[in-house]
Amino acid sequence: MKQLQEFIYPNSIEEALSFLDESTEIIAGGTHITVSKNQSFKRLVDITRIGLNYIKKEDHQVRIGSTTTVTEMIESSIVRKIGNGILTKACQLIADTPLRNIITLGGNIARYYPWAGLPVVLLVIDAEIIIVDKEGLEQTISATKYFKNAKVKTGEIIKEVVFPVQSDWFYRYEKFALTTVDYSWLTMAFGAKNEGGSIVDPHIAVSRITKVTRVSEVEKLLEGKELSKLNINEVIQTLRTSVNVVSDYRSSKEYREHLLGILFKRMLNEMKEEGK
Amino acid sequence: MTQKVFEGKVVGKSVAKIDSLSLALGKPLFTDDKSFKDMVYVKMLFSPHAHAEIITIDTTEAEKVPGVLGVLTYKNASQVLHTTAGQGYPEPSVYDTRMFNKKVKFVGDSVAAVAAESIQIAEKAIQLIKVEYKVLEPIFNWDEALGNPIIIHDEEEAGYLIPVFYDSKNNHVAHIDALVGDIDQGFKDADILVEKIVRNHYAQHCPLEPHVSIAYFDENDRLVVRSATQVPYHARRIIAQVLDLPIAKVRVIKPRIGGGFGSKQEIVTDLIAASFTLQLKRPVKLEYSRREEFISARTRHPMTTRLKAGVKKDGSITAMDMRVTSNTGAYGTHGLTVLSNTGSKTLPLYHCDNIRFIGDTVYTNLPIAGAYRGYGGTQAALAMEIVMDELAIQIGMDPAEFRLKNHIKPGETSPIFKVLGEGTEGVEQTIDSCGLSDCIKQGANAIGWWSREDHKEKFNTETKKRGFGLACIMQGSSIPHIDMAAAYAKMNDDGSFNLLVGATDIGTGSDTVLAQIFAEVLNLDIESDIVVLSSDTDITPFDKGAYASSTTYLSGMAVKNLAEKIKKQLLDYAAEQMDLPVNELELVGKTVFHLKTKKSMSFAEIGTKALYTENQQQIGAVASELSKKSPPPFCAHFAEIEVDIETGKVRVLKYVAAVDCGTPINPKLVIGQTEGALVNGLGYALSEHYYFNAQGRMLNPSFGNYKIMTTTDLPEIETIIVKTYEPTGPFGAKSIGEPNISGPMPCLSNAIYDAIGIRITEPPYTPDRILKAIKDHQQVM
Amino acid sequence: MALEIEVIINGQQKVLTIEPYDLLIDVLRREGYKSVKRGCSEGTCGTCTIILNGRAVKSCILLAAQAHKGSIVTVEGIGTRDQPHPLQQAFVEEGAIQCGFCIPGIILSAKALLDNNQSPTKEEVKQAMDGNLCRCTGYSGQIKAILSAAAMMRGEK
Ligand SMILES: Cc1cc2nc3c(=O)[nH]c(=O)nc-3n(C[C@H](O)[C@H](O)[C@H](O)COP(=O)(O)OP(=O)(O)OC[C@H]3O[C@@H](n4cnc5c(N)ncnc54)[C@H](O)[C@@H]3O)c2cc1C
Ligand code: FES
Ligand code: FES
């Protein structure tokens, strides 16, 4: 990192924005900045002191500032209400305690990390990401749109994420890994409404086995289906074929496809149980 | 049979480890905690190829970088053939290693080293070294290495110092063939035969402190190497040998060490740091990064073990035939001795008159295997304990009953002790202490063994199946007639003692255990009366080092001998001073006491008088010990697990280890050794794994991707100490450092079988492998 | 380009001159806080754990510049031989220390926990230690020691 020449402590978003250019990088928790190789930036702008550390409860939604740490989210009783606790659960399964103490919400979604725990949660909750662009203008982007690219542009800052609180929804989150503190083998989240025994507005998101994505084929298939009459095998088959599962050295494509189906089957069964 | 146990004043008590407060306070005690002025930093260039010839190596650009002080390659470094194994001399390991080679033999082999003013400069310079390789075809499958047309080692002069088999033309590092009784008859006599082939995997020791050496010249221009080593004396000898220095010109200091587990029984960083110091006359540091530890330090020998055994319906074992192919990787360090240990640390455990052992160690183009806690015992126990389980099940006997019936008992011997030693023939011995029956019984109760069927029925679901497993393990204590330990002590004015031991405390607590033994004989307080200094080759007497489970047993005996000698000196001195017959004197508290007259002389009085006024002399002595046998510690492991048959995930719910280490000199340290080893063993069984790509490069060289257990992975663990008394050990003690690492792999395999009826013989038991086994099994059915 | 940071280390106000790319672990060791150990440099072993502004963090994946205006605690700062911190005392008493290389980091993770939670459960203790590897002990002595130190700090021992 010897090429790094400057470290800036701005006091506001505007000031931070004014420093951003091609050879400048934002630093939040810094857990990725410090370990990643091949860096070319000459200047770092620390955004942890510009007032982006907050968790605000509003009517039916929660705003979380981008430099809020994973631990702060875990400790928050407001966050526990988001997605019936799946955001809290996802946070608890990120890395380990001293890392959770520094990893930030923004840092977990600003770049694409295959193992990142939060993107699938944002996807199934229909979160919105508020980005401030070079001119200081705020843009609101839906998680679904954002994660198509999964990268904020140079010169822009993720300001906050807005989470709707939909406590009447069913939500599940799963990180499957070899040990408790491990990069995930498969990450997935599921959210849907149970209206009189039928699935409404299902959201399914997976990552690690493929680039983080929602699985619209299965969402379509499930829409309006009665839970009690669900052909779970068909659902699983569709899921396995609609996700482009890649293998990695830890586990084969076949195993990951199998796992994907099993984990989703269990989520659906739990939804059935809960509805009873 | 109730066995004698020893209860001491200090021995048998969990006194606090003498260095533990300093460690808790964060004192600068480790190799790299001392600052040196003008330090030079070294970075290594490792081979990216598994097998290649260096055609050209051009270091000119690297040398031009400002701040670069020197570059070592095969062209200018010492070319003395040696072994990196820190073993007694002559080593039972092959001399097949040079500091740098023209031909590289695994991804991670040393190609060059750069010394520079800073680590960043060295790193930059490394990238500027231009190497042209001619890539050669590698061998990765150890089962195909013997007689393979690809020859890995082509040094003409490579060979052993001792007269044993070596055939590099066939990649054949070691061969052992041992037979007792009549194996064919044994199999004929059997009612049932069981044969299993198991394959264990690569793994690393992962001491949290990596290998690190700092070499410098002292004021008298002698070479000092401050090293994270388990074997300071062997390190000194090998440094002198390879760098062509008189031993007297070399001093090795071992500060506190951040764990070793066998990996630091190897000379890994010392030679390069020392070479640069000789060249540059400055302090030089070489510290491996975590990645370098994984790819270039040492690993556990992966093996293929075939075990065939016969049993009669009454449960008696008629024959055992063990065939082992051990992969030593690119160099043969510990290749012979780990191989012989596979047999010698498992086959004596059960009664059997007809035993055959054939073992071969082979080279491959994979990372170097070396000494690793368990030392062959771990690998063979996988085969042994799976086969014992299967034998019991096949004749309809409970696996615990089967072991109770068959395991070696006090007063018995095994023919294997004589025919298999460490590299050479072994030493006949009878078992004087064995608490394995009690270990099995108490462990079984603790896990709920006898009610396991009800328990399983209660908790099993459609997708989650419970299972119970058992494994019994033995090891040894020291290498008889080979390794020597010595200790020295002197008395100070106030009656306190300096205890100087060659024994190498690498975190095990051996300094404390040795102080306890010393204190027991002389009625001393550990905290106030004894100052322990260990392993500085200029100051402390010789000791082979921390390996082969010998520190408590062998170094402990040396310290006991020493304390006895000093006790005699104290009695003689006091007898002369008080003018009383020496045979009427005894030690009471910290005095020499005469019962009849109630006269006494305190240690402080003796200390002061002996140094300053009366019959002046240094009270003190040196003593040593060479062991005559290697009494095994025993343990019984039990596990309760749950297998998720849809995902293949194995969860360990409870784990019990019942251990017999003779007299537990310090019970808390015994528990620490037991649980540290078994948690390492659990990780090895479940998640620790080297993933290689098709070119032989390790894909997961980091703690992020090589998963050792953390707190949240732990099952409930219970350790039970079964006390026995080993008459040849200090106050009845044997060893405990090694056997517990070997239990989890077979124990969990047996538990998986109990849960789902499938024998898994290729660890680690990762979800994908278990699921595949389940699917394969379903297809067969 | 060198910069100056103000930090409080173990209660002492300091101004340190650093390079922007200096890692916090390197600066702390350079300043003599050798209890901060380097086991991996990748944020995965926990031996470099310190307390920064009340939280346990890994100093090998933080730039020193990030600690500007922060308050740092290393294990050197929490107790002395005559007056060890209850955690240091409990670790010694429970035999929870073998090689000791992991210990400063573990004690600080534990301290950060106990400073925020006087009566943690065993599960909470395990959770707080999940970023600190120990290869020697198997952890159970350490978990006991932390619970015992908590009791000491509550005045129950
Ligand atoms: C050993 C280890 C294990 C890990 N395990 C997991 C895991 O299991 N699950 C998981 O989810 N994560 C895990 N992580 C974390 C993950 O890999 C990233 O390091 C982390 O999410 C980055 O967050 P940060 O706050 O530290 O970001 P930084 O390192 O500060 O920044 C990361 C990137 O995001 C940019 N950035 C940060 N914040 C903003 C913002 N507000 N606006 C615009 N750009 C921004 C930065 O410029 C930089 O490019 C692990 C990390 C480590 C080191
Ligand atoms: S050195 Fe920082 S986590 Fe390992
Ligand atoms: S005591 Fe050695 S790593 Fe923990």
Task: Find the mean pLDDT for residues B58-75.
Answer: 98
Q: What are the C-alpha distances in Å from B284 to residues B76, B86, B223, B233, B600?
A: 18, 22, 11, 20, 55
B232 closest CA partner among B664, B663, B547, B592: B547
> Residue A17 has which token pair?
């924005």
User: In the prediction, which pLDDT does B781 show?
Assistant: 63
Considering only the beta carbons, identify the residue of C1, C56, C62 that sits closest to A97. Answer: C56
User: In the prediction, which pLDDT does A40 show?
Assistant: 84
Rounded to the nearest angstrom, the minimum Cα separation between C6 and chain B is 24
Q: What are the C-alpha distances in Å from A43 to residues A22, A158, B234, B575, C14?
A: 10, 18, 50, 80, 24
B208 closest CA partner among C56, A32, C41, C23: C41
Considering only the beta carbons, identify the residue of B686, B699, B712 that sits closest to A249. Answer: B699
User: All domains of chain C, ordered by start, with CATH?
Assistant: 3-77 (3.10.20.30), 86-153 (1.10.150.120)
Sheet arrangement for strand B103-104: B103-104, B52-58, B130-135
User: In the prediction, which pLDDT does B1 show?
Assistant: 44
Q: Give the separation between CA B728 and CA B714, rounded to whole angstroms.
A: 36
CA Rg value for chain A: 19
CB atoms within 10 A of CB A167: 11
B338 closest CA partner among B313, B292, B383, B372: B372
The secondary element (H helix, E strand) that includes residue A119 is: helix A119-125
- Give the list of residues 6+ apart from residue B558 with CB closer than 8 angstroms, or none: B485, B486, B487, B501, B503, B543, B623, B624, B625
CB B644 within 8 A of CB A262: no
Which amino acid, B117? E
Is the per-residue pLDDT at C137 higher than 60? yes
Give per-residue pLDDT as tens, A72-118: 999 999 999 999 999 999 999 999 999 999 999 999 999 999 999 99
Name every chain A residue with its beta carbon within 8 A of the beta carbon of B767: 176, 178, 185, 251, 255, 259
Quick check: C60 and A34 CB within 8 A? yes
Q: Give the separation between CA B491 and CA B497, rounded to whole angstroms.
A: 5
Name every chain B residue with its beta carbon within 8 A of the beta carbon of C34: 26, 28, 30, 33
ipTM of the complex model: 0.98
Q: Is the dihedral of CA C93, C98, C104, C108 positive or negative?
A: negative
Q: Give the separation between CA B532 and CA A240, rounded to whole angstroms.
A: 64
Rounded to the nearest angstrom, the minimum Cα separation between B677 and chain C is 7
Give per-residue pLDDT as tens, A47-66: 999 999 999 999 999 999 99
Specify the residue with its C-alpha closest to ligand 1, atom 14.
Answer: A95
- CATH class of the B20-27+484-626 domain in this structure: alpha beta
Cis, bond preceding B764 (omega within 30 deg of 0): yes
User: In the prediction, which pLDDT does C81 show?
Assistant: 97
Quick check: B679 and C141 CB within 8 A? no
Looking at residue B380, the DSSP 8-state letter turns out to be: H
In chain B, the percentage of residues whose pLDDT exceeds 70 is 99
Pocket of ligand 2 (CB under 6 A): C 38-41, 43-48, 58, 60
CA Rg value for chain B: 27
DSSP reduced 3-state for A190? strand
User: In the prediction, which pLDDT does B693 show?
Assistant: 97
- What's this model's pTM, rounded to 2 decimal places? 0.97
Q: Give the separation between CA C38 and CA B213, rounded to whole angstroms.
A: 14
CB B469 within 8 A of CB B631: no
Task: Find the mean pLDDT for residues A126-150.
Answer: 93
> Residue B595 has which token pair?
């019962």
CB B748 within 8 A of CB B30: no
- Count of structural domains within chain A: 2
The residues pairing with B174 across neighbouring beta strands, listed in sequence order, are: B361
Closest atom, ligand 2, to C-alpha of C43:
3
Spell out where B142-201 has E strands: 172-180, 192-199
User: In the prediction, which pLDDT does A38 show?
Assistant: 67
Which amino acid, C87? L
> Residue A36 has which token pair?
């990643």
User: In the prediction, which pLDDT does B610 show?
Assistant: 97
> Residue B231 has which token pair?
């074997």
Q: Give the separation between CA A46 and CA A31, rounded to whole angstroms.
A: 13
Is the per-residue pLDDT at C149 higher than 50? yes
Is the per-residue pLDDT at A16 higher than 50? yes
Quick check: B707 and A178 CB within 8 A? yes
Closest chain A residue to C126 measured between Cα atoms?
A: A97
Task: Find the mean pLDDT for residues B87-112.
Answer: 97
Q: Which of C21, C42, C94, C101 to mutate to test the interface with B (most CBs of B within 10 A)?
A: C101
CB B249 within 8 A of CB B240: yes
What is the third-level CATH fold of B303-479+629-780?
Aldehyde Oxidoreductase; domain 4 (3.30.365)
Q: What is the CATH number of the domain that holds A195?
A: 3.30.390.50
Give per-residue pLDDT as tens, B385-411: 999 999 999 999 999 999 999 999 999
Give per-residue pLDDT as tens, B161-212: 999 999 999 999 999 999 999 999 999 999 999 999 999 999 999 999 999 9
B301 closest CA partner among B142, B192, B437, B412: B142
A42 closest CA partner among C62, C70, C19: C19
Closest atom, ligand 1, to C-alpha of A109:
21
What residues does each domain of chain B span? 20-27+484-626, 36-136+211-287, 303-479+629-780
CB A134 within 8 A of CB A18: no
Phi-psi region of A29 (alpha: psi -120 to 50; beta: other; left: phi over 0): alpha
CB B209 within 8 A of CB C40: no
Helix and strand counts by DSSP (H, E) for chain C: 5, 5
Spell out where B146-302 has E strands: 172-180, 192-199, 212-217, 223-227, 250-253, 284-287
User: In the prediction, which pLDDT does B296 show?
Assistant: 97
CB B499 within 8 A of CB B559: yes
CB A219 within 8 A of CB A202: yes
Chains A–C, number of C-beta pairs less than 8 Å apart = 74
In a domain, A250, yes or no: yes
A101 closest CA partner among A22, A30, A43: A30
DSSP reduced 3-state for B35? coil
| 3-state SS record for B72-140 | ECCCCCCCCCECCECCCCCCCCCECECCCCCEECCCCCEEEEEEECCHHHHHHHHHCCEEEEEECCCCC
Q: Give the separation between CA B421 and CA B547, rounded to whole angstroms.
A: 15
In a domain, A156, yes or no: no
> Residue C4 has which token pair?
């100056």
Q: Give the separation between CA A19 and CA B420, rounded to whole angstroms.
A: 72
CB atoms within 10 A of CB B578: 17
Is the per-residue pLDDT at A1 higher than 80? no
* Cβ A119 under 6 angstroms from ligand 1: no
Cis, bond preceding B763 (omega within 30 deg of 0): no
Quick check: B120 and A2 CB within 8 A? yes
Q: Which of C40, C129, C135 to mutate to test the pocket of ligand 3 (most atoms within 8 A of CB)?
A: C135
Q: What is the distance in A from the centroid of ligand 1 to the CA of C55?
A: 18
What is the third-level CATH fold of B36-136+211-287?
Aldehyde Oxidoreductase; domain 3 (3.90.1170)
User: In the prediction, which pLDDT does B3 show?
Assistant: 62
> Residue B313 has which token pair?
């319906």
The residues pairing with B413 across neighbouring beta strands, listed in sequence order, are: B430
CA Rg value for chain C: 15
Q: What is the distance in A from the centroid of ligand 1 to the CA of A28?
A: 8
A86 closest CA partner among A104, A98, A74: A74
Phi/psi for B651 (5° steps) reads -115, 125
Q: Which of B372, B703, B711, B721 to mutate to test the interface with C (most CBs of C within 10 A)?
A: B711
Q: Is the dihedral of CA B530, B531, B536, B538 positive or negative?
A: negative
- Give the list of residues 6+ apart from residue B699 with CB closer than 8 angstroms, or none: A249, B691, B692, B693, B705
Quick check: C130 and A44 CB within 8 A? no
Task: Find the mean pLDDT for residues B730-748.
Answer: 97
In a domain, A93, yes or no: no
Task: Find the mean pLDDT for residues C115-119.
Answer: 97
Two domains, one topology: B20-27+484-626 and B36-136+211-287: no
* Cβ C135 under 6 angstroms from ligand 3: yes
B547 closest CA partner among B223, B26, B88: B88
Q: What are the C-alpha distances in Å from C65 to residues A17, A27, B636, C24, C80?
A: 19, 11, 53, 8, 29
* Cβ A207 under 6 angstroms from ligand 1: no
- Give the list of residues 6+ apart from residue B406 with CB closer than 8 angstroms, or none: B315, B316, B317, B350, B351, B388
Which amino acid, B140? F
Sheet arrangement for strand B192-199: B172-180, B355-363, B317-329, B303-311, B192-199
- Give the list of residues 6+ apart from residue A263 with CB closer than 8 angstroms, or none: A174, A176, A186, A188, B647
Q: Give the separation between CA C132 and CA C109, rounded to whole angstroms.
A: 8
Give per-residue pLDDT as tens, B330-374: 999 999 999 999 999 999 999 999 999 999 999 999 999 999 999
Name every chain C residue with its beta carbon within 8 A of the beta carbon of A25: none
Give per-residue pLDDT as tens, C58-87: 999 999 999 999 999 999 999 999 999 999
Task: Find the mean pLDDT for residues B540-562.
Answer: 93
Is the per-residue pLDDT at B493 higher than 50? yes
Q: Give the separation between CA C149 and CA A12, rounded to whole angstroms.
A: 42
Task: Find the mean pLDDT for residues B274-294.
Answer: 98
Identify the domain containing residue A175 by its residue range: 169-275
Closest ligand to the CA of A90: 1
